[in-house]
Chains A and B, each alone.
Chain A
Amino acid sequence: MIEVKDIHKSYKMGQNSLKVLKGINLNINEGELVAIMGSSGSGKSTLLNILGMLDEAETGEYILDGVLIKNLNETKAAHYRNKFLGFVFQSFNLINYKTAAENVALPLYYQKTNRKERQEKALAYLQKVGLGEWAGHLPSEMSGGQKQRVAIARALAAAPKVLLADEPTGALDTKTSYEVMDLIQQINDEGKTILIVTHEEDIANMCKRIVRLKDGVIIEDVKVEQVRAAQYVQ
């Protein structure tokens, strides 16, 4: 599903350039649930941004679902993001003046789905994350866990190939974190490929594979026995 070959990336800081990624090679198959771990500054977020086409690698190859992602202009990148990727952010990034249902329907709007279908789908996904009754509420009326679940519903709404989650539990307490992870595991069980950037071991252990980054290189890439989050959730 995702094929990354020898990706380099550096940021210019005035005169100096800071090398963030120094040759990343990664293959992720369909249906995997991968945790990308590392301390801050290890380049994990940069990698996720490149995978999410929010940023571009300087050198190297990135193939997503058989499509070579290269020299994208913004319009094309927007189309690819819309078609292939669903994003979940640490700070939820819901649009605060739109209701939960409107937020979930937004990617569908950019997919030019017609109105009725959009509303139906949005409601269906909200029900899937257990927030069917919250469809008409604004993000400000919800708890963190609920917001993140809306964000997940939104990421799923466009039926993406891959779900990219940047510290999805970073802003949540442990109990809520596990609830969210339970949801992510369920979605993964249905066959969706998911990448999670995290620095929490317990979250990483709930994935099927852990990739550790340090100073811009992969230092470990292991398959793990998945800890089911459901056991912590009543």
Chain B
Amino acid sequence: MKLLFSRDTWQEIFGSIRKNKGRTVITVIGVLWGIFIYITLSGAAKGLNNGFTLEFQDMATNSMFVWSNQTSVPYAGFKTGRRPQFKISDVEQLKTKIPQIEFIAPRNVKGMWDGSPAKVVYGQKDGSYNVYGDFPSLVKIAAKKIFDGGRFLNEEDINLSRKVCVIGERTQTDLFDKEDDPLGKYIRVDGSYFKVIGVHKFEPGGGFESDSDIYIPFTTFRKLYNSGENVGWFAIAAYDDANVTQVEADVKNTLKKIHQIAPEDDRALGSFNLGEMFNRIMGFANGMTFLSLVVGVATILAGVIGIGNILLISVKERTKELGIRRALGATPGEVRGLILLESVFLTLVAGMMGIVLGAFVLFGINAATQGLEFPYSNPTVPISFVLGALAIMVVLGTLIGLIPAQRAVSIKPIDALREE
């Protein structure tokens, strides 16, 4: 320890480093490159990871959708090929049977797979858009970002079957002039006038929805399209600690019971589990992180081995000098310490330079990907990774340094002095 903090020790080390500038530079570049790759790779992977997380942040990742298809097994006197019709009353039953459900939003749509899209007119402009009949609880499952000043549907809208709607950002650009604020304006949806109360921002990922969707209260939808108690499909969010896959199975079983579908009929109900997809994508991102760690560490290792190699040559070159030192009274321990410290010092300096360089590159990547339609955000390397890398470098530097250090002391001083 005393050796480590003595000014003399460092003077000796700097002396020998300064003496071999070329060698030192090459050595440093080896490790610098390794740590640079490590930092850049793991930072980039982290950026990807962050990007995906950001994509999913507005979505309850423990959410799922369930809809009905045609039955494929005859059951309870029904033939196959029947399409079970979900009812609004299913909601209460599902909620009581499955306590893991936090939110459940029955939904209907005009357009998509249920008929043709609604014809929407504003002033001279018109277009065909999908219209959804929704409950306010939908935002708890798939968040809708509403632009400044607007709002999403609320309970009052449902209770009073208000003719209000939330339009998509593309609907806005299609129907409204740039200076025209859509809020409070009335658009005609399949013959009825709706007041625009908000514009939602499109968040890609997971669903089938688009940036032109129009949301109206479920109760209004019912009146407009005469859908009665019918429900197109359910969007369900489970509690955070619940197993979504299990909830998904439970929901389907319950719905099968209600709608008299054969328990073994796997085709009658369709479902989509966002949690599973989320896990798969995050698994991919985590895999990238892991890969970058492995590659990075391997590159560091290669760099450190390079240091060991060059120090071996250096020890060979310095055989005579080390012999002189030992003739003058340097103990093998002191010689070994000198070489080891040189190795660790070079490794650390190179490592820190690599970290700084890597940080700059990550900074550049971040600036370059800003505002791109690419799941990439805030590429950082956790401090624990950096410290871990530094620790690995010190340990490896020491281990690798041991080889030339041992070589240095294994030569007898007399042989070392004879060397020319």
Instruction: Name A's B-contacting residues (CB within 8 A).
Output: 49, 52, 54-55, 74-75, 78-79, 81-83, 87, 89, 93-95, 97-98, 102, 106-107, 109-111, 115, 154, 158
B325, A106: Cβ atoms under 8 Å? Answer: yes
Check A107/B7 contact, CB under 8 A, given A54-B413, A97-B18: no
User: Interface residues of A: mostly helix, strand, loop or mixed?
Assistant: helix
- Which chain A residue has the least Cβ–Cβ distance from B8? A109
A75, B16: Cβ atoms under 8 Å? Answer: no
Say yes or no for B330: interface residue by CB 8 A criterion. Answer: yes
> Per-residue CB proximity of B313-324 to A under 8 Å, as 1/0?
000000011011
Minimum CB–CB distance from A110 to chain B (whole Å) comes to: 4
User: Interface residues of B: mostly helix, strand, loop or mixed?
Assistant: helix
A107 to B334, CA, bound (A): 13
A118 to B220, CA, bound (A): 96
A75 to B334, CA, bound (A): 9
Query: Which 9 residue pairs are nearest across A and B when measured between Cβ atoms?
Result: A82-B329, A110-B329, A97-B19, A54-B414, A78-B331, A75-B331, A107-B328, A74-B332, A93-B324
Residues of A within 8 A of B323 (CB): 93
Residues of A within 8 A of B328 (CB): 81-82, 87, 106-107, 110, 154, 158
B417, A89: Cβ atoms under 8 Å? Answer: yes
Say yes or no for B407: interface residue by CB 8 A criterion. Answer: no
Residues of A within 8 A of B331 (CB): 74-75, 78-79, 110
Residue among A55, A95, A106 with the highest chain B CB neighbour number at 10 A: A95
Instruction: Name B's A-contacting residues (CB within 8 A).
Output: 7-8, 12, 15-16, 18-19, 320-321, 323-334, 409, 412-414, 417
Residues of B within 8 A of A93 (CB): 320, 323-324, 327, 417
A115, B8: Cβ atoms under 8 Å? Answer: yes
Q: 21 A-B Cβ contacts within 8 A?
A: A49-B414, A54-B414, A54-B417, A75-B333, A78-B329, A78-B330, A79-B331, A81-B328, A81-B329, A82-B329, A83-B329, A87-B327, A93-B324, A95-B325, A97-B15, A97-B16, A97-B18, A97-B19, A110-B325, A111-B329, A115-B8
Minimum CB–CB distance from B84 to chain A (whole Å) comes to: 89
Check A78/B332 contact, CB under 8 A, given A93-B320, A106-B325: yes
Residues of A within 8 A of B325 (CB): 95, 106, 110
A102 to B15, CA, bound (A): 11
Minimum CB–CB distance from B317 to chain A (whole Å) comes to: 12
A49 to B413, CA, bound (A): 10
A54 to B12, CA, bound (A): 23
- Which chain A residue has the least Cβ–Cβ distance from B327? A87
A98, B417: Cβ atoms under 8 Å? Answer: no
B321, A95: Cβ atoms under 8 Å? Answer: yes
- Which chain A residue has the least Cβ–Cβ distance from B326? A78
B332, A81: Cβ atoms under 8 Å? Answer: no
A97 to B21, CA, bound (A): 12
Residues of B within 8 A of A55 (CB): 412, 414
A78 to B417, CA, bound (A): 15
B412, A115: Cβ atoms under 8 Å? Answer: no
A54, B16: Cβ atoms under 8 Å? Answer: no
Minimum CB–CB distance from A113 to chain B (whole Å) comes to: 10
- Which chain B residue has the least Cβ–Cβ distance from A87? B327
